[in-house]
């Protein structure tokens, strides 16, 4: 673990990797460039077309903006509804994330570190939840939340079922994470007179920060991008989330293509910024889910 | 507390030094504590477990399990979503759904999406991942870019692509036109012969990044020494990838394929945004079917029957896949964990 061995090993590893894995040659860079072009073209085309006028767009769809106009973007940004949708998206995502992280880490703790008879069957209940497609439950959910619980058109009404469907992944990722914390910590805490609940609060929670951030980020992004459940449960215009707003705008103003591009470009900024900031967490979380 | 004989517990005990692996050995090894105290401790454990697990169980039970049960119940009734649930029709909704061309076509579309996703994304994703795993400039940036479509919401990606695929004025038709490639008059999304293909293209664009990122993560787990050894034996880069890297990536590939499969059975968002299942029902999936019948037409019974079929299809595929393909990974698991420990030993030694 000291620095010295690492420095003596590093050059060997690096040399091996370079020669073995192969470096870049023109063909490799060519393919990489093609991949980047195919990936980014739709996104960049949307962003740039947001600066065009509709007549310019229809005259020459594949051209460069002439003239560049800001009116599409300012039009969206001065539309109160856009900000209302953004606020709704944020609140639904925050509530979803809070429920997922709190309920998830609480459930994962005994499933990871207690010995009791029903432990594995209980865990299996959540694992099986991975197989329940949200589509199966949407119609009963719609009836239950709108009619029985009176939570239709509310932030909580969407956040609760979203959190419920995110819980299996969360627990599957968190359990091995909590299992990996050394047992000695628990023993030491017990010797010092801590109860298991005390251990959970004072030691386990602070230590499992990274795991909770990972599942939290996944839940947040999932909620931010969600469409089906909000579509069913948020029928009032003032309660809609950004994806619903984007879909509505694109059908209501179908002729205003430049406006649609400006709207989608602005709506994707939060997710992209969040992704760039949290990239590592998202990727780790997905890997964790795959390793199961 | 009685002895637990499940795998996880057995594993843990086996890893503890000096623990015997038989249940009898375990019982005798346990210190003989006074029965009253252990019962109280058991009660305490039960209370604590209940406290910790209850929030998750309640949320999960109320918003996942209960609706699924209700879906099964609704599927046995003819019901429009209001008034009492009285018109019991037995399995007639299922008979209706399973003989309805729109639904059976939708099911076939789901299966096509499933097969095409794997057949197209596996080689493409693997190729890109192997490429990105080489030492090239801008590797980190490339990795980020490849993942961007996956992070965008399906709605945003779908709305953008719908504009790109608009007949005549969309970017795709314009570029094809300037290259002299004929395009369908109604646009690719407007022509029943091409619509599903166009949806597949967009889905591939959206989800290829996930495959690449997962494969890349798997590639990092392949030790460099193997490549060095192969190279010393005179293997070319391609031989090394084909004989060593790709086989070692097996578990990652199989799990990715599983996720992709389950996702394909549930596709809704992208199809709903791009085509709403049209034109002429040519792009419906089971999920768009149950939405348009259950929500747009209020035929809750029929939509619920469709959702139960969706669930059964997902379950059958999941179980079959688990049995036939993933089992190999479970058998492999002890070996890979041994490999991990060996690597850890090596690091300590170094």
CB B228: neighbour CB atoms within 10 A? 18
Most confident of B122-126, B235-239, B243-247, B253-257: B122-126
Are A37 and A149 members of one domain? no
C-alpha span between A131 and A262 (Å, rounded) = 37
Report if residue B300 sits inside a domain. yes
Q: What is the pLDDT of residues A54-76, one digit of tens each?
A: 888 888 888 888 888 899 999 99
**pLDDT of B329:** 63
Are A218 and A107 members of one domain? yes
> What is the ipTM score, two decimals?
0.85
Q: Which of A1, A18, A33, A42 to mutate to test the interface with B (most CBs of B within 10 A)?
A: A42
CB B340: neighbour CB atoms within 10 A? 11
Instruction: Count CB pairs under 8 A between chains A and B.
Output: 309
Distance from CA of B123 to the nearest CA of A (A): 14
Q: Which residues of A touch B291 (CB under 8 A)?
A: 135, 138, 228
B-proximal residues of A, 121-150, CB under 8 Å:
122, 125-126, 129, 131-144
C-alpha span between A159 and A155 (Å, rounded) = 6
**pLDDT of B1:** 35
- Higher pLDDT: B67 or B11? It is B67
Residue A191 sits in a domain whose CATH number is 1.10.3720.10
Are A232 and A122 members of one domain? yes
In this structure, of A82-91, A198-207, B51-60, B144-153, the range with the lowest mean pLDDT score is: A198-207
Q: Which residues of B touch A291 (CB under 8 A)?
A: 255
B5 and chain A: CB distance < 8 Å anywhere? no
Among residues A147, A150, A133, A142, which one has the least CA distance to residue B294?
A: A142
Are A191 and A286 members of one domain? yes
Q: Which residues of B touch A117 (CB under 8 A)?
A: 1-2, 4
Answer whether residue B93 shows pLDDT above 80: yes
Query: What is the mean pLDDT of the segment spanning A125-138?
Result: 84
Distance from CA of B193 to the nearest CA of A (A): 23
For residue B206, the chain A residue with the least C-alpha distance is A39
Are A83 and A64 members of one domain? no
Q: What is the pLDDT of residues B291-350, one digit of tens each?
A: 999 988 889 999 999 999 999 999 899 888 888 877 766 555 444 444 444 444 444 444
C-alpha span between B249 and B247 (Å, rounded) = 5
Whether the CB-CB separation of A270 and A86 falls below 8 Å is answered with: yes
The answer to whether the peptide bond before residue A67 is cis (omega within 30 degrees of 0) is yes
Whether the CB-CB separation of B98 and B302 falls below 8 Å is answered with: no
Of A119, A243, A292, the CB nearest to B155: A243
- Higher pLDDT: B223 or B63? It is B63
**pLDDT of B102:** 95
Q: Which residues of A touch B300 (CB under 8 A)?
A: 139, 143
Are A132 and A185 members of one domain? yes
Residue B110 sits in a domain whose CATH number is 1.10.3720.10
User: Angle of helix B300-321 relative to helix B66-74, nearest 10 degrees?
Assistant: 120
B178 and chain A: CB distance < 8 Å anywhere? yes
Report if residue B188 sits inside a domain. yes
Report if residue B212 sits inside a domain. yes
A31 and chain B: CB distance < 8 Å anywhere? yes
Gyration radius of chain B over CA positions = 27
Please state the domain count of chain B.
Answer: 1
Q: Which of B63, B202, B243, B278 to mutate to test the interface with A (most CBs of A within 10 A)?
A: B63
DSSP three-state, residue B135: strand
Are A154 and A271 members of one domain? yes
Are A286 and A205 members of one domain? yes
Q: Which residues of A touch B93 (CB under 8 A)?
A: none
For residue B252, the chain A residue with the least C-alpha distance is A290
* H or E element at residue B154: helix B154-164
A-proximal residues of B, 96-155, CB under 8 Å:
128, 131-138, 142, 144-149, 151-155
Query: CB neighbours of A159 closer than 8 A, spacing ≥ 6?
Result: A92, A95, A96, A99, A223
Of B64, B153, B227, the CB nearest to A20: B227
Are A63 and A102 members of one domain? no
Q: Say yes or no for a CB contact (<8 Å) between A132 and B266.
A: no
**pLDDT of A22:** 64
Whether the CB-CB separation of A217 and A281 falls below 8 Å is answered with: yes
Are A137 and A252 members of one domain? yes
Distance from CA of A193 to the nearest CA of B (A): 15
Q: Say yes or no for a CB contact (<8 Å) between B149 and A39.
A: yes
Domain that holds residue B285: 105-349
Report if residue A12 sits inside a domain. no
A187 and chain B: CB distance < 8 Å anywhere? no
A-proximal residues of B, 200-239, CB under 8 Å:
205, 209-210, 213-214, 217, 224-225, 227-228, 230-231, 237
Are A62 and A84 members of one domain? no
Angle, alpha carbons A132-A288-B132 (nearest 5°)? 115
C-alpha span between B299 and B293 (Å, rounded) = 6
pLDDT-derived band at B137 (thresholds 50, 70, 90) equals confident
Answer whether residue B196 shows pLDDT above 90: yes
Report if residue A19 sits inside a domain. no
- Higher pLDDT: A279 or A111? It is A111
Domain that holds residue A142: 79-256+267-291
A71 and chain B: CB distance < 8 Å anywhere? no
Are A128 and A199 members of one domain? yes
Answer whether residue A248 shows pLDDT above 60: yes
Report if residue A17 sits inside a domain. no
Angle, alpha carbons B95-B96-B99 (nearest 5°)? 80
In this structure, of A253-267, B38-52, B273-287, the range with the lowest mean pLDDT score is: B38-52
Q: Which residues of B touch A109 (CB under 8 A)?
A: 52
Report if residue B162 sits inside a domain. yes
Q: Say yes or no for a CB contact (<8 Å) between A21 and B9.
A: no
Distance from CA of A98 to the nearest CA of B (A): 12
In this structure, of A115-119, A237-241, B19-23, B51-55, the range with the lowest mean pLDDT score is: B19-23
Residues in chain B, overall count: 350
Q: Which residues of B touch A161 (CB under 8 A)?
A: 63-64, 67
Q: Say yes or no for a CB contact (<8 Å) between A167 and B273.
A: no
A62 and chain B: CB distance < 8 Å anywhere? yes
Average pLDDT of the residues of chain B: 81
Report if residue A274 sits inside a domain. yes
Q: Which residues of A touch B46 (CB under 8 A)?
A: 116
Most confident of A170-174, B34-38, B39-43, B55-59: B55-59
Q: Say yes or no for a CB contact (<8 Å) between A129 and B64.
A: yes
Distance from CA of A75 to the nearest CA of B (A): 18
Q: Say yes or no for a CB contact (<8 Å) between A42 and B205.
A: yes
Report if residue A11 sits inside a domain. no
Q: Say yes or no for a CB contact (<8 Å) between B273 and A117.
A: no
Please state the domain count of chain A.
Answer: 2
A97 and chain B: CB distance < 8 Å anywhere? no
Report if residue A237 sits inside a domain. yes
CB A50: neighbour CB atoms within 10 A? 23
């Amino acid at each position: 673990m000291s620095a010295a061995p690492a420095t003596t090993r590093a050059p060997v590893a690096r040399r091996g990797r370079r020669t073995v894995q192969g470096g870049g040659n023109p063909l490799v860079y060519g393919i990489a460039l093609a991949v980047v072009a195919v990936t980014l073209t739709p996104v960049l085309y949307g962003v740039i077309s947001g600066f065009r006028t509709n007549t310019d767009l229809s005259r020459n769809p594949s051209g460069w903006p002439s003239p560049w106009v800001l009116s599409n973007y300012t039009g969206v940004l001065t539309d109160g509804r856009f900000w209302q949708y953004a606020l709704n998206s944020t609140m639904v995502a925050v509530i979803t994330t809070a429920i997922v992280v709190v309920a998830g880490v609480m459930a994962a703790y005994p499933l990871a570190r207690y010995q009791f008879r029903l432990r594995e069957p209980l865990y299996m209940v959540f694992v099986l939840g991975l197989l329940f497609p949200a589509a199966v439950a949407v119609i009963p959910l719609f009836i239950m939340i709108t009619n029985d619980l009176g939570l239709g058109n509310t932030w909580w009404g969407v956040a609760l079922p979203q959190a419920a469907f995110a819980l299996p992944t969360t627990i599957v990722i968190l359990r091995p994470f909590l299992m990996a914390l050394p047992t000695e910590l628990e023993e030491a805490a017990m010797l010092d007179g801590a109860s298991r609940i005390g251990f959970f609060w004072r030691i386990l929670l602070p230590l499992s920060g990274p795991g909770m951030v990972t599942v939290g980020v996944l839940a947040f992004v999932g909620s931010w991008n969600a469409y089906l459940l909000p579509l069913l449960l948020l029928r009032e215009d003032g309660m809609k989330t950004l994806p619903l707003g984007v879909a509505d705008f694109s059908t209501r103003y179908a002729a205003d293509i430049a406006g649609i591009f400006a709207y989608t470009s602005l709506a994707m900024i939060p997710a992209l910024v969040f992704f760039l900031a949290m990239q590592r967490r998202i990727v780790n979380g997905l890997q964790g889910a795959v390793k199961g | 507390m009685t002895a637990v004989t499940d795998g996880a517990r057995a594993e843990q005990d086996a890893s503890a030094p000096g623990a015997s692996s038989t249940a009898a050995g375990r019982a005798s090894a346990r210190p003989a504590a006074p029965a009253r105290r252990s019962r109280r401790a058991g009660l305490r454990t039960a209370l604590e477990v209940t406290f910790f697990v209850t929030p998750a169980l309640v949320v999960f039970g109320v918003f996942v399990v209960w609706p699924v049960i209700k879906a099964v119940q609704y599927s046995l009734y003819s019901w429009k979503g209001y008034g009492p649930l009285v018109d019991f029709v037995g399995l007639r909704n299922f008979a209706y759904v399973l003989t309805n061309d729109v639904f059976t076509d939708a099911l076939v579309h789901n299966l096509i999406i499933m097969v095409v996703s794997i057949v197209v994304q596996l080689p493409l994703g693997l190729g890109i991942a192997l490429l990105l795993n080489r030492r090239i400039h801008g590797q980190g940036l490339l990795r980020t870019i490849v993942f961007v479509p996956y992070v965008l919401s399906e709605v945003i990606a779908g709305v953008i692509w719908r504009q790109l695929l608009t007949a005549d004025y969309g970017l795709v038709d314009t570029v094809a036109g300037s290259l002299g490639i004929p395009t369908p008059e109604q646009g690719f999304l407007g022509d029943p012969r091409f619509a599903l293909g166009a949806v597949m293209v967009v889905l591939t664009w959206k989800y290829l990044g996930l495959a690449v990122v997962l494969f890349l993560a798997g590639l990092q787990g392949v030790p460099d020494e193997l490549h060095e050894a192969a190279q010393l034996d005179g293997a070319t880069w391609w031989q090394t990838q084909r004989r060593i890297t790709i086989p070692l990536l097996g578990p990652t590939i199989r799990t990715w394929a599983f996720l992709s499969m389950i996702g394909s059975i549930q596709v809704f968002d992208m199809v709903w945004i791009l085509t709403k299942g049209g034109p002429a029902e040519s792009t419906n999936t089971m999920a768009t079917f149950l939405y348009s019948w259950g929500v747009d037409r209020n035929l809750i019974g029929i939509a619920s029957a469709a959702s139960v079929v969706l669930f059964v299809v997902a379950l059958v595929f999941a179980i079959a896949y688990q049995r036939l393909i993933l089992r190999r990974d479970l058998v492999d698991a002890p070996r890979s964990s041994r490999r991990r420990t060996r690597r850890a030993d090596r690091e300590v030694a170094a």
